[in-house]
Chains A and B, each alone.
Chain A
Amino acid sequence: MQRSLDKFNEAGIRPVAISIATPQESHRLAQSQGYSFPLLSDRNADVIRRYDLVHAKAGINGEDIARPAEFLIDSTGTMRWINLTENYWVRARPEQVLEVANSLKNK
């Protein structure tokens, strides 16, 4: 995501990552990977639950975590594109997201 960050920003899209990691853990990850987009901490999986993305007890210590998912939300707060892959290892490619993002520009 960091590699495509410039392209996302050019398209007016702000990437934001959410997980149950603490701000400290996310900060360490962001530093080691050079991420310059926001990483948010959903410690108790409240937001994850509200978005129905809970992967129960799948964390390293048996805690509830988020299943991988990507949402493109427009500036009015409306969902425009969702990617819930069937397979944990298959993720959305930046090009796919940019295509959707560019179609948002024309609305």
Chain B
Amino acid sequence: MNIKRLNWPLWTGFLLTLAAFLSYFFIFVEFPFTRDFPWANLVLFVLAGVLLFMGLRRGFRADRPHPTRSKIVSSIFSVLSLAVFAMFIFVIFIGGRWLPASKGAPQVGQRVPEFTLPDTSGKQMSLNELLTSPINGNAPKGVLLVFYRGYW
């Protein structure tokens, strides 16, 4: 295959779209700056969009070796990329908000419910213990209780 004939903007654009999507969950989610608002991924999507636009134009050129095939392939992959982008927007901005209201959670100023749960070694730990056992030899000022899904 002649390298000049390969529609490189289309393929690079498509791969970049996939990278823009996946990189959020594997890389950018680790850093609050890029997690709270996925600006890094949006930048990647924009770059991918530019490449895909170039690839579409190239795919529709009359001097392509297989003009019909080029039109179909470049259209399909552009639409696929658009679908990936739409899915990203959905997952982050819409799906992310599907959380229960939790109106019954302890309010500021209230005493929180006591509990006892096993830690990673199976040892039962009570909230009272967590609040009183020393940190580096000093009495704790408090506990930061972080509830998470179960798989970060």
Contact = CB atoms under 8 A, between A and B. Distances in A.
Interface string B123-152: 001011011100110111111111111111
Contact-size category for B: 35 or more
A60 B150 CA distance: 10
Contacts of B93: 87
B115 interface: yes
Interface of B: 29, 32, 35-36, 38, 92-93, 95-100, 102-115, 117-122, 125, 127-128, 130-132, 135-136, 138-152
Given A14-B144, A18-B147, A90-B35, A50 B113 contact: yes
B99 A55 contact: yes
A103 B29 CA distance: 29
B31 to A, nearest CB: 10
Given A23-B120, A40-B117, A104 B141 contact: yes
A67 B59 CA distance: 46
Most buried by A among B117, B121, B125, B136: B117
Contact of B106 (A13, A17, A79): A79
6 contacts: A13-B142, A50-B113, A51-B104, A70-B145, A73-B131, A87-B97
5 interchain residue pairs of minimum CB distance: A52-B104, A12-B141, A27-B120, A19-B150, A40-B117
Contacts of A70: 144-147
Given A26-B120, A39-B120, A69 B35 contact: no
Given A47-B115, A66-B149, A79-B112, A104 B102 contact: no
B150 A65 contact: yes
A5 B121 CA distance: 20
Interface string A54-68: 111011100001111
A5 to B, nearest CB: 10
Most buried by A among B36, B109, B120, B128: B120
